[in-house]
Amino acid sequence: MVDHLANTEINSQRIAAVENCFGASGQPLALPGRVLLGEGILTKECRKKPKPRIFFLFNDILVYGSIIINKRKYNSQHIIPLEDVTLETLPDTLQMKNRWMIKTSKKSFVVSAASLTERKEWISHLEECIKHLLTKTGRQPCREHAAPWIPDKATDICMRCTQTKFSTLTRRHHCRKCGFVVCADCSRQRFLMPRLSPKPLRVCNLCYRQLLAEKKEAEADRRQTEPIRSAIQGYEPSSGDDSDKSDDDKAEQWPADTEFYTSEVSWSSFHS
């Protein structure tokens, strides 16, 4: 189907229509061989509350954005290369059904469809495109993924110290490594994670210690191997957010026993 549509006028018109809906705020989407396979509205679990987002599936990228006027105007365009995507189905919650996670190296988030059939179709088409791209490029599936952010309403207390209670004056923060909702005292550190950002990002104290230990271990390994590399003649070693803007905080509280993402690790295991 992709080969059949690749150079057709109808495909060019559909892609142009999407570009027009994003306007000057969006990036050009038309490329040789790129095909628009489908579109639809999915509910994205954002930091403050679930929000509808428009999604466009191409044969090589997934594009989504905020809806200003459906079919006419969108903004906050995000483009995700499908080679970087891994999918994971998730159980239903009281608030959201037909959920799955879109995981990438830079950002991971949860979406839900209007029906189970719609979820199956989205996942099937996504997996088919991803498989085709990986086969074509010879790449392996992405193994490292950014942690999804736990929604703000998931907890009233810091998920690290379990002592600080959030309020209007006591802000919630998110660790960029684990995605936990934490207080300021438990997330004072910053750490450079090039995979996510060129600038140091906020991390919780536990993740900071783990990242620091990994960095020291990597540096020690590099010092051990450097003499071996230098001894080889002619060898030159190589040189070393969808803006979920604040909305009115009116969402209902999440039940304490809500299962957010598939994990056998309880919160208590991280309170150290």
Express each pLDDT in 166-187 by its tens digit: 999 999 999 999 999 999 999 9
Q: Dump strand ranges (E) for 107-230.
A: 108-112, 173-174, 181-182, 189-191, 201-203
- Residue 261 is encoded by which pair of tokens? 């993402």
Average pLDDT over residues 104-126: 96
Domain termination residue (choose one: 183, 198, 222) = 222
Contact (CB, 8 A) for 30 and 82: no
Contacts of 238 (CB under 8 A, 6+ apart): none
Residues 50 and 125 in one domain: yes
Position 268 pLDDT exceeds 50? no
Tell me which of 228 and 208 has the higher pLDDT. 208
**Domain final residue pick, 124, 145, 166:** 145
Asked if residue 125 is part of any domain, the answer here is: yes
In a shared domain, residues 48 and 95: yes
Asked if the structure places residue 258 within a domain, the reply is no
Q: Report if residue 260 sits inside a domain.
A: no
- Residue 257 has phi, psi (to 5 degrees) of -100, 15
Domain that holds residue 180: 149-222
Q: Looking at residues 263-272, what average pLDDT do you find?
A: 44
Question: What's the pLDDT band for 67 if we cut at 50, 70, 90?
Answer: very high
Q: What is the number of structural domains in the chain?
A: 2
- Indicate whether 47 and 118 sit together in one domain: yes
| 268 located within any domain | no
Query: What average pLDDT does the chain have?
Result: 85
Residue 50 shares a structural domain with residue 136: yes
pLDDT score recorded for residue 257: 52
Taking the C-alpha atoms of residue 18 and residue 22, their distance in angstroms, rounded to an integer, is: 7
3-state secondary structure of 208: helix
- The pLDDT of residue 225: 75
| Residues 102 and 129 occupy one common structural domain | yes
Do 95 and 19 fall into the same domain? Answer: yes
Q: C-alpha angle 246/72/18, rounded to 5°? A: 95
Task: Give the least confident one: 99-108, 122-131, 143-152, 161-170.
Answer: 143-152
Residue 265 in domain: no
Residue 50 in domain: yes
Q: What local confidence, expressed as pLDDT, does residue 140 receive?
A: 85
Q: Is residue 261 part of a domain?
A: no
Boundary residue ending a domain (145, 161, 195)? 145
CA–CA gap between residue 7 and residue 11 (Å, rounded): 7
Q: Is the pTM of this model over 0.85?
A: no
| Mean pLDDT of the region 241-264 | 48
Spatial CA neighbour of 192 closest among 176, 169, 173, 213? 176
Same domain, 7 and 136: yes
pLDDT for res 227? 66
% of the chain beyond a pLDDT of 70:
82
Residue 41 has a pLDDT of: 97
Q: Quick one: average pLDDT of 250-257?
A: 47
* Domain-embedded: residue 244: no
Residue 244 has pLDDT above 80, yes or no: no
Q: Which one, of 24, 36, 92, lies nearest residue 62 by Cα?
A: 36
Residue 118 main-chain phi, psi, to 5 deg? -65, -40
Check whether residue 72 and residue 157 sit in a common domain: no
Find all residues with CB under 8 Å of 232, minimum gap 6, and list them.
Answer: none
Question: Which is nearest to 62 in space by CA: 7, 106, 3?
Answer: 106
Question: Domain holding 164: CATH number?
Answer: 3.30.40.10
For residues 65 and 170, membership in a common domain is answered with no
pLDDT value for 205: 96
**Residue 181 contacts residue 158 (beta carbons within 8 Å):** yes
Partners of 182 in beta bridges = 173
The pLDDT of residue 141 is 85
On whether both 140 and 194 belong to a single domain, the answer is no
pLDDT of residue 155 exceeding 80: yes
pLDDT(42) > 60: yes
Same domain, 116 and 155: no
For residue 66, pLDDT over 80 is answered with: yes
